[in-house]
Amino acid sequence: MRGAVRLPAIASAHLLPALDGPHLAPGDLNDWRLLRAQLEHRRVPRIMGRRIRADPDGYLRDIEEELRPYLPA
């Protein structure tokens, strides 16, 4: 869990009885999908940053390979 939902989730875990499947289903599926898309949009730059820090030469090599068909010979 991340961000704004962390504290309410912790509090509800201690205050409420055990929750089962129907209680955990999102109330509004469109809102849930929008939230997932926002989280994914924020996740991509973090992943790319980790990749370049872990192996800068390999990262740049992969980019060159992807762009090679578009570069002049």
**Radius of gyration for the chain, computed over Cα atoms and rounded to the nearest angstrom:** 20
pTM for the model stands at 0.44
Other Cβ atoms within 10 Å of 52 Cβ, number: 13
pLDDT digits (tens, 9 = 90+) for 50-66: 888 999 999 999 999 99
In this structure, are residues 23 and 16 in contact, taking their beta carbons and an 8 Å threshold? no
Give the C-alpha distances (Å, rounded to integers) separating 56 from 12, 45, 46, 53, 63.
43, 15, 15, 6, 11
Segment 17-25 shows an average pLDDT of 71
Domain segments of the chain as ranges: 3-70
